[in-house]
Amino acid sequence: MSRDERLSDVKDRVADMASKMRDRAGQVGETVSEKVGQQRENAADKLGRAASALHERANDVPGGPKAVDLAHSIADGMESTASYLRSHDFSRMGKDLLDVCRRHPTQSLVAALAIGFFLGRSRR
């Protein structure tokens, strides 16, 4: 076998391996996307149930009408979040997050620092 034939054979093998790796990466990506979608749906369902429970029990909250109104407002926010989770995929949520960060950079930085601080504390 000549040098050119061996080189061509190696190139073909590398191209074949690269193609197989791309296919496998695509399969893994689809699996991860499905799992994230399932988790998103689960979170939306749990939020919806919690909002319903809060609405049902809001009148039992001590503190008078303002506390009852606050409980209903919180439940409405939870329902809104659940609806958002159901209607947006993960990539769309990422784009929305970037838009919020661009519109409110200072608040985003403070929030990121606070989240990082609390995550760091929880790992200790």
Provide the residue ranges of all domains of the chain, joining segments of one domain with +. 90-124
Q: What is the pLDDT of residue 36?
A: 83
Lowest mean pLDDT segment, chosen from 12-21, 45-54, 78-87, 93-102: 12-21
Would you state the structure tokens that stand for residue 13, as one six-digit string?
A: 């093998």
Report the number of secondary-structure helices (H) and strands (E) in the chain: 4, 0
| 14-25 average pLDDT score | 85
Which amino acid, one-letter code, is at 42? Answer: N
| 55-77 average pLDDT score | 91
Q: What is the pLDDT of residue 105?
A: 92
Find the helix or strand (DSSP H, E) in which 89 lies: none
